[in-house]
A and B are shown apart, each in its own frame.
Chain A
Amino acid sequence: NAGVTQTPKFRVLKTGQSMTLLCAQDMNHEYMYWYRQDPGMGLRLIHYSVGEGTTAKGEVPDGYNVSRLKKQNFLLGLESAAPSQTSVYFCASRATSGGGEQFFGPGTRLTVL
């Protein structure tokens, strides 16, 4: 079991470039989440999904798009990167039943110049 994996681990973009971050989980979880983490601000929810083919906005969705075409994958896209999107991005997943534990990936460090 790999748990939650994220690709890539690091990325540097120039302002205006686009990219997609990939999150994959092998635990058959229904729920998946994308967060960003900035110094002194904890983790803030960008978008989330409650199942294959569904997505919903979180706390800070502007400038990002997501897709959940397959249950095990959750993609986060930046269409036109801005320096304000420099951050560490974490993906997480959760089962619908049992406790409320979210399982996190190792993170992607993104720098936008």
Chain B
Amino acid sequence: GENVEQHPSTLSVQEGDSAVIKCTYSDSASNYFPWYKQELGKGPQLIIDIRSNVGEKKDQRIAVTLNKTAKHFSLHITETQPEDSAVYFCAPRPPYNQGGKLIFGQGTELSVKP
């Protein structure tokens, strides 16, 4: 099965700085790489995802980059704002996964200080 590790577990940045969270996975067959954001007291919500035939994807201030050879992908947030403060989860998924199950990383708590 898939082993997933996220680093760092906590990250504190000043407003306007950039933040990078890295997710390492073990199953080389994984072909879908999403990032979820969980605000306090709410369920996780997908913010960006990438498939294995693409190396990078951007959506305004957030981006995801994929290194299939090294088996890791990263979430990049630029010009951070206080509303970016949340817990972020990666959840890589292999194609043979029945039911589209996700295996989540342990989470990274991002704190953006004004």
Q: Which residues of A contact B (CB under 8 A)?
A: 4, 31, 33, 40-45, 48-50, 56, 58-59, 90, 92, 94, 96, 99-102, 104-107
A33–B106 CB distance below 8 A = no
- The answer to whether the Cβ of B45 comes within 8 Å of any Cβ in the partner chain is yes
Contact size range, B? 20 to 34
A99 contacts across to B, CB distance below 8 A:
49
Pull 14 A–B residue pairs with CB atoms less than 8 Å apart, ordered by A: A4-B43, A40-B107, A43-B44, A45-B101, A45-B102, A45-B103, A50-B99, A90-B44, A96-B100, A99-B49, A100-B34, A100-B49, A101-B46, A102-B46
Q: A107 — nearest CB in chain B belongs to which residue?
A: B43
A90–B98 CB distance below 8 A = no
B44 contacts across to A, CB distance below 8 A:
43, 90, 104
Please pick, from B100, B101, B107, the residue contacting A58 in the complex, using a CB distance under 8 A. B101
A-contacting residues, B86-114, CB 8 Å: 89, 93, 98-107
B101–A90 CB distance below 8 A = no
Given contacts A101-B46, A107-B42, contact A41 B101 (CB under 8 A): no
Q: Which residues of B contact A (CB under 8 A)?
A: 9, 32, 34, 41-46, 49, 89, 93, 98-107
Q: A58 — nearest CB in chain B belongs to which residue?
A: B101
B89 contacts across to A, CB distance below 8 A:
42-43
B42–A94 CB distance below 8 A = no
Please pick, from A42, A44, A56, the residue contacting B99 in the complex, using a CB distance under 8 A. A56
Q: A41 — nearest CB in chain B belongs to which residue?
A: B106
A104–B43 CB distance below 8 A = yes
Given contacts A56-B98, A56-B99, contact A105 B43 (CB under 8 A): yes
Please pick, from B34, B41, B93, B107, the residue contacting A42 in the complex, using a CB distance under 8 A. B107
The smallest beta-carbon distance between B40 and chain A, in angstroms, is 11
A40–B106 CB distance below 8 A = yes
B43–A106 CB distance below 8 A = yes
The smallest beta-carbon distance between A109 and chain B, in angstroms, is 9
B106–A48 CB distance below 8 A = no
Q: A50 — nearest CB in chain B belongs to which residue?
A: B99
A106 contacts across to B, CB distance below 8 A:
41-43
